[in-house]
Amino acid sequence: MTDFDPVPHPLPDPLVDLIAQRFRVLSEPMRIKLLDRLRDGDASVTELQEALGASQQNVSKHLGVLLSAAMVSRTKHGTSVRYAIADPGVFTLCEHVCGGLRRQLSELDAVLATEVTA
């Protein structure tokens, strides 16, 4: 259940589109911030709005995108609505990206170092 077949290669077109679409969902700073905030636990739209300092409509809109991608879950709770992380895998992705960024910085440092040494 947790181990999968290797990813096909070359990637079939429909899969390519799905992958790109997934990345696109994560390509907005506000959505990253929302996910990062939800890492502390579920929250209402109002709470997220205050945490990010954005308009209520904008927050709702981005939450809608995340919900469509099934990255968050939506639960009506009285007069309020609580959003929560539905796919913790997104954090793994972010960590890998951060790792990649650090790698690039390290390489840049190395290049600059040799540059100076030379």
Partner DNA sequence: GCGTAGCACAACCAAACAGTTGTGCAATGG
Partner DNA sequence: CCATTGCACAACTGTTTGGTTGTGCTACGC
51 sits near DNA (criterion: CB under 7 A) = no
Q: Which of 58, 92, 104, 106 binds DNA (CB under 7 A)?
A: 58
Helix, strand, coil % in the chain, rounded to nearest 5: 60, 10, 25
Instruction: For tokens 């929250």, name the residue.
Output: 43
Q: Which of 45, 51, 69, 93 binds DNA (CB under 7 A)?
A: 45
**Please, which of residues 10-69 interact with a copy of itself by CB under 8 A?**
10-11, 13, 15-24, 26-29, 31-33, 36-37, 39
- Least distance between a copy of itself and beta carbon 111 (Å): 11
Cβ within 8 Å of residue 51, ≥6 positions away: 37, 43
End-to-end CA distance of the chain: 53
Q: At what angle do helices 89-117 and 29-38 cross, to 10 degrees?
A: 120
Interface residues with a copy of itself (CB under 8 A)? 1, 4, 7, 9-11, 13, 15-24, 26-29, 31-33, 36-37, 39, 70, 87, 89-90, 92-104, 106
